[in-house]
Structures are given as C-alpha cells and as structure tokens.
Chain A
Amino acid sequence: GNSVTQMEGPVTLSEEAFLTINCTYTATGYPSLFWYVQYPGEGLQLLLKATKADDKGSNKGFEATYRKETTSFHLEKGSVQVSDSAVYFCALSDRSNDMRFGAGTRLTVKP
C-alpha cells in the first residue's frame, strides 16, 4: 500500500539557517504530493503541493520538487524564521481517494 516516510525530528535551527526536511514515498501510479504545516494548538494547513513529476510546489519561501526517479518530495527553505516553528507533514493521495501522512517533523527555530 501507499506510505510516506519523513525524517525524524525534532529539528532545531538558528534563525536564517537553511532547512531541509526529507520525505520519501511508496505508491503505485502517480500520486499527488503535499506538505502540510501544523502550528501549535491548530489544525493542519496546506503549505504546498505538486501533482506530477518534476513539478515544484512553493509557498512562503518553502519549496519542494516532485522527484519520481527518487520517489522524494523534500521540503526546503533558504532562511528560516522563528515563526516557522511548527510540525511539518508530508502526505500523498492517489486515485483511491485515501490520504497518507508521514509521522511529522517538529521544527524549532531559535532567535
């Protein structure tokens, strides 16, 4: 079945550091890939998505590229801010209409 594997956290960075959170997936066919973010005490919000190979999703300075050859969708940001502290979830969906999330990676950014 489909599955998503994310790098384990927590991740702690200093402000303005470069961020990478790794995500790999297992799926048949061509799933859509997502990054969701959960701020403390809130529900998840869509951060970015990509629906086909080589697509790049981007939002709020975050980027991720759909790499079919490596089955990956790594999240990157060039310069993190304290306000980026949150839990980040990689997810996929396919034609079966169910949704699979990774375990989540907690990011803490220190001033």
Chain B
Amino acid sequence: EAQVTQNPRYLITVTGKKLTVTCSQNMNHEYMSWYRQDPGLGLRQIYYSMNVEVTDKGDVPEGYKVSRKEKRNFPLILESPSPNQTSLYFCASSLSGPDTQYFGPGTRLTVL
C-alpha cells in the first residue's frame, strides 16, 4: 500500500530535550516536506526537499533541522525543543515538486 508513515504519532517531551520525528514514504517520490498545523494558521511549511541531499527552508524553519540521506526518509529534528513548537506536524511527499502531495497521519507534539 502506498503510504507516508510518521513516528511517533504522539509525543510529550520537555524543553531542551532533543527529539527526532521520522517520516518515510514507499512511493519513490522525489519531493518531501514537513508542515506544522496550528489553529487559525493552517499549515505552514517548515522544510522541503526536492531530492536526496537537497533541502530548502520553508516558511518557518527556525528551531528545526532536516536531512535527506535516502530518498524514502526525511526526518525532522528538534535540537532543543521549546513550548512554542507544540503543534501537529505533518510529513508529505509527491512525485516531483509540490504538486499532488500525499500526507502522513500526523505527529502531535507537546513540549512542556
């Protein structure tokens, strides 16, 4: 089954404790992206990647890192999480470019 998977689905952590949210797709897509969803703000793009080893900042990249060492994986790293990063995070992928994107189920992160 074609899908985008994210782990964990729920995470509660404390300020400053490094964490990684994994994202994997099995559709051989070149384009992958991370978004955060906050009430009243919709989805805002954090980082995106056009292909392996190519990443670019989106609208709200501060406090986040990403890497794209393999085509299928695009982990989101929070080196020192803060409470304002409490949000619902979505990973998405598409064949090439931000066209028809397939979204993962979301990761709800709470930073205390």
- Are B41 and A32 touching (Cβ within 8 A)? no
Contact between chains at B45 and A99 (CB < 8 Å): yes
Mask: chain A, 94-105; 1 = CB below 8 Å from B; 0 = not: 000111111110
Cα A91 to Cα B58 in complex, Å, equals 14
Binds A, one of B13-21, B66-74, B76-84, B103-111: B103-111
Whether A44 touches B90, Cβ cut-off 8 Å, given contacts A93-B97, A100-B59, is: yes
User: Nearest chain-A residue to B33 (Cβ)?
Assistant: A99
Number of A residues with CB within 8 Å of any CB on chain B: 20
Does residue B99 face the partner (Cβ distance < 8 Å to A)? yes
Q: Which residues does A use to contact B, with CB under 8 Å?
A: 4, 6, 32, 42-46, 49, 89, 91, 93, 97-104
